[in-house]
Amino acid sequence: MKNFILAALLLAASAFSAQAQSTAPVVLTTGLLLAAAPPAPSQTISPNAVIATLETGSWKTPSANEPFDSDNKALGAWRTITAETDGWFRDSSLGYAYVSMTYRSDKEQIALIEAHGNSVVYVNGLARAGNIYGFQDTYESWGPRFDYVYIPVKLRKGVNEFVFECRRGLLKVKIHPDQNKLFFAVNDLTAPDLLIGEAASTFGALPIVNATEQSYTGLFAKTWAEGSVPEYYPVGELLPLSILKAPFAIKLPAQQTSGPVPFHVEIVKKNQGKDEVLASSIIELHSMAASETHKVTFFSAIDGSLQYYAVNPPVELKGKPALFLSLHGAGVEAINQAQAYGHKNWGYIVAATNRRPYGYNWENWGRLDALEVLAIAKEKFSIDPNRVYLTGHSMGGHGAWQLGVNYADQFAAVGPSAGWISIWSYRIRPVVDSTEVQKMLVRATKQSDTYAFTTNLKRTGLYILQGAVDDNVPPSQPRSIVENLSKFHKDFIYYEEPGAGHWWDNSDEPGSDCVDWMPMFDFFSHHAVASSDKIKMVDFVTANPAVSSKQYWIEVINQIEQQKLSTISMRLEQGNRKFVGSTGNIALFSIDCSMLSADKPVSVVVDSQTISNVQIP
């Protein structure tokens, strides 16, 4: 893990006194920096002296060369730093930082904070959302900029203070004064692609920024394009100084040509039969052939939000199609992930979003996103259930390991590329359990310990791909799990491409080799998902049945000790109509007996206990 570095940034209020009279954006360019020692490896929860002062009301604006003390221990002294001519602060100590800036307003007003590189901002002591996705696309190896967040805040007359938490190595901050309106944050558009020859009846979504102190209810998103009838879709309540990503309807006749389609979006209030327009924008939808890689939107059953997935459709398809679920890496959009593959002739490549380009490491919500898209794609494209495959690159390679070990019976084969194995093995410092509280917290993360669940993959084909000189996810990561697999697994291939780094493409074939690797897809073609009625032996491990409870015909319902490893090994003696096995840390489990006829009873022998004459319902 990177050194834990506390930092803060101060801009003298006098520097803005002249600029505060204008509505033009103000870029903050000077400040103070504090670097502190990293936390001890034994700390499961790291104390944070800077946030502690903010939350307890003891924060004091620092001055140059002033020492910073916590619990009577000096953590360092503030030093002056200056932004470069493009407004970006670039300093190695900003890898983990807290930044404090002041801004003098000549009046009470509403402003917008546009920041890039911060995970949270405290505005006069109150926490607001950050923008960890905001990077300059020309800055060294950082990925594209995602300008997602414009935070509306109420400024008081006089000095206002902002404290930014930074963890990405750079920072840029703009203040947009004198805002008192609704507007769309068009850079965070979620929209489907329009397919030539198909009428559109779907949805998009845009954030509405309410930079006022008023609540709004009863509003509608009004949408139309050239020649179409306006559609109205209700908008949820807009709270004061808030942001709501609101869905809007897209109903259009079939497009006949490819290219951009201007599309009008307004927020309106019905006023005596007339539309009072409160915000408006013209966005671009894109029309393309159904054979091209494109985006599809859907309402998530997880939280009701509008999400999208990308589809790379097959060409010259014969027979029932296969499905390749591909998980993107950190900083990659789902549509870019899908476009990194050439079209296949035997299946669909579908890329889920993980909510954001960095998302949740394909754990937690990201894991649910992937499973939801998997279910949608299987139904929408009439997928052959025996030919479902899982792959991904970098963070998505980790996602392939995570979903693979938790849901092995859903995939015929898994192909992680440049995938780190466990959050503990890759970025987080070694786990040290020294107190009962720490043990409890670490135990709650046990399902993230991929190594503990690799035996779940015993029946799943594995093709593990890695660049030999990858300096982002080093080869030591896949090599470590290969050592684990070699003790029991009989169907895996590990391949390192000589001289290749994190992202590589050595052939002139369509698609990037580091994800669209021909030998991997050839390996996939020789594997199929085994149906439950063909499985006579199940070995299953879980630490959290809420995450993963089932494999084939065995389901863990309750544990004895919560979030500790639970194991079950069970075989079916079909001729004897008997299940025989053992369990560990399982209070209750169930067996699906649908592979047996219901006309005769079965028996179960588990942990030396025998249950006879069980009737199948």
pLDDT, tens digit, 9 for 90 and up, residues 57-107: 888 888 899 888 877 777 788 888 889 999 999 988 887 878 888 899 999
What is the pLDDT at residue 142?
39
pLDDT at 121: 92
Q: Give the pLDDT band (50/70/90) at residue 6.
A: very low
Least confident among 64-68, 416-420, 579-583: 64-68
Instruction: Encode 465-490: b = buried (16+ Cβ within 10 Å), e = exposed.
Output: bbbeebeebbbebbeebbebbeeebe
365-380 helix and 395-406 helix, angle to the nearest 10 degrees:
80
Contact 496, 502 (CB under 8 A): no
Residue pair 428/442 in contact (Cβ under 8 Å)? The answer is: no
H or E element: which one contains 264? strand 259-271
Query: How far apart (Å, rounded) are the C-alpha atoms in residues 118 and 132?
Result: 5
Q: What does the pLDDT read at residue 519?
A: 98
Integer Cα distance of 541 and 524 in angstroms: 25
AA identity, residue 176: H
pLDDT grade for 146, boundaries at 50, 70 and 90: low
Report residue 16's pLDDT band, with 50, 70 and 90 as the boundaries.
very low
Separation between Cα atoms, residue 477 and residue 230, nearest integer Å: 54
**pLDDT per residue over 372-403, tens digit each?**
999 999 999 999 999 999 999 999 999 999 99
Mean pLDDT within 498-524: 96
Tokens of 325: 């679920």
Instruction: Give the pTM.
Output: 0.90
The CA radius of gyration of the chain, in Å to the nearest whole number, is: 28
pLDDT at 130 over 50: yes
Instruction: Say whether pLDDT at 574 is over 80.
Output: yes
Give the number of other Cβ atoms within 10 Å of residue 558's Cβ.
12
pLDDT, one tens digit per residue, over 221-253 is 999 999 899 999 999 999 999 999 999 999 999
pLDDT band at 428; cut points 50, 70, 90:
low
* Beta-carbon contacts of residue 372 (< 8 Å; ≥ 6 apart): 300, 301, 302, 352
Q: Which helix (H) or strand (E) holds 224?
A: strand 219-224
CA distance 298 to 304: 9
What are the tens digits of pLDDT across the range 524-573?
999 999 999 999 999 999 999 999 999 999 999 999 999 999 999 999 99
Q: Which residues pair with 12 in a beta bridge?
A: none
Bigger pLDDT: 416 or 166?
Answer: 416
Nearest CA to 348 among 327, 317, 369?
317
d(CA 397, CA 470): 14
φ and ψ at residue 86, rounded to 5 degrees: -90, 5
361 close to 399: Cβ distance less than 8 angstroms: yes
Residue 267 exposure: Cα atoms within 13 Å on the Cβ side: 25
Token pair, residue 162, equals: 């902002």
Find residue 182's DSSP bridge partners: 210
Which one-letter amino acid corresponds to residue 588? L
Check if the beta carbon of residue 144 is closer than 8 Å to that of residue 107: no
Contact present, 114 and 187 (Cβ < 8 Å): no
